[in-house]
Amino acid sequence: MIPFRPVLLAFAFACLAAHGDDKPSYIRTEVIYGRKHGTALTLDVVKPAKPNGYGVLYMASGGFFSSHEALDGALKNGLLAPVLDRGYTVFGVVHGSQPRFVIPEITDDIHRAVRFVRAHSAEHGVKPDHFGIFGASAGGHLSLTMGTQGGPGKADAQDPIDRGSSAVQAVACFFPPTDFLDWRSTGDDAVGVGILASFKPAFGARSDTAESRAVFGKEISPIHFIRPDMPPTLIIHGDADKLVPIHQAEIFLKRCEDVGVKAPVKLIRKPGADHGWAGIDKDIVIFADWFDEHLRGLKK
Q: What is the pTM of this model?
A: 0.92
> Among 63-72, 222-231, 256-265, which is the least confidently predicted range?
63-72
Instruction: Give the residues across from 12 on adjacent strands.
Output: 29
Which band of pLDDT confidence, cut at 50, 70 and 90, is reported for residue 300? confident
Q: Give the single-character DSSP code of 239.
A: T
- pLDDT number for residue 6: 30
- pLDDT number for residue 23: 55
Which band of pLDDT confidence, cut at 50, 70 and 90, is reported for residue 254? very high
Per DSSP bridges, beta strands 89-93 and 131-136 are unpaired
> Among 54-58, 126-130, 277-281, which is the least confidently predicted range?
277-281
Q: For 172-199, write each residue's pLDDT tens digit.
A: 999 999 999 999 999 999 999 999 999 9
Strand blocks (E) in the chain: 8-16, 25-36, 39-48, 55-59, 89-93, 131-136, 170-174, 233-238, 265-270
> Among 17-21, 70-74, 112-116, which is the least confidently predicted range?
17-21
Q: Which residues contact 171 (CB under 8 A, 6 or more apart)?
A: 132, 133, 134, 143, 144, 146, 147, 231, 232, 233, 234
Mean pLDDT of 47-73: 95
Domain spans of the chain, in order of start: 8-179+221-294
User: What is the topology classification, in CATH, of domain 8-179+221-294?
Assistant: Rossmann fold (3.40.50)
